[in-house]
Amino acid sequence: MTGNRETIADRLRRHYKDFKPAERKIANRLLENYPMSGLVSITELSKMSQVSTPTVMRTLKRIGFDSFVRFQKALKQELSETLSDPVARHGQWATDAPREHILNRSAESVLKNLKDTMNQINHRDFNAVVELLSAPERAVHLVGGRITHAFSDYLGTHLEVIRSGVYKLPLAVSLWSHHLLDMKSGDVLVIFDVRRYEADLLNLAELAHDKGVRLVLFSDQWLSPIAGLAEFSFPVRIEAPSGWDSGVATLFVVEAMINAVECRLWPEAERRIKELEEAFNRTGRFRPSER
The sign of the dihedral angle between the CA atoms of 154, 32, 112, 9 is negative
Tell me the three state secondary structure of residue 4. coil
The strands making up 166-168's β-sheet, listed across from edge to edge, are 166-168, 140-144, 188-192, 214-220, 232-236
- φ and ψ at residue 143, rounded to 5 degrees: -150, 150
Q: By C-alpha distance, which of 224, 272, 258, 273 is closest to 129?
A: 258
Q: For residues 22 and 118, give the distance between their C-alpha atoms in angstroms, rounded to a whole number.
A: 19
Residue 252, classified by CB atoms within 10 Å of its CB into exposed (0-12), middle (13-18) or buried (19+), is middle
The pLDDT score that the predictor gives to residue 139 is 98
Give the contacts of 11 (CB within 8 A, at least 6 positions apart).
63, 64
Boundaries of every domain in the chain = 8-97, 123-281
pLDDT tens, residue by residue, 38-91: 888 999 899 988 999 999 999 999 999 999 999 999 998 887 776 555 444 444
- The CB density around residue 211, as the number of other CB atoms within 10 Å, is 14
Pair 149, 171: CB distance under 8 Å: yes
In three-state form (DSSP H/G/I as H, E/B as E, the rest C), the secondary structure along 69-98 is HHHHHHHHHHHHHHHHCHHHHHHHHHHHCC
The pLDDT score that the predictor gives to residue 94 is 35
Cis peptide before 267 (omega within 30 of 0): yes
Mean pLDDT of 266-291: 86
**Residue 56: its H or E element:** helix 53-62
User: In the chain, what are the helix, strand and coil shares in percent, each to the nearest 5?
Assistant: 60, 10, 30
Q: For residues 35 and 59, give the distance between their C-alpha atoms in angstroms, rounded to a whole number.
A: 16
CATH among 2.60.120.200, 1.10.10.10, 3.40.720.10, 3.30.70.980 for 8-97:
1.10.10.10
CATH code of domain 123-281: 3.40.50.10490
Tell me the three state secondary structure of residue 266. coil
Q: For residues 277 and 288, give the distance between their C-alpha atoms in angstroms, rounded to a whole number.
A: 12
Asked if residue 166 has pLDDT above 90, the reply is: yes
pLDDT band per the 50, 70, 90 thresholds, residue 290: low
Give pTM, 2 decimals.
0.71
Q: For residues 214 and 216, give the distance between their C-alpha atoms in angstroms, rounded to a whole number.
A: 7
pLDDT tens, residue by residue, 89-145: 444 433 443 456 777 778 888 888 898 888 888 889 999 999 999 999 999 999 999
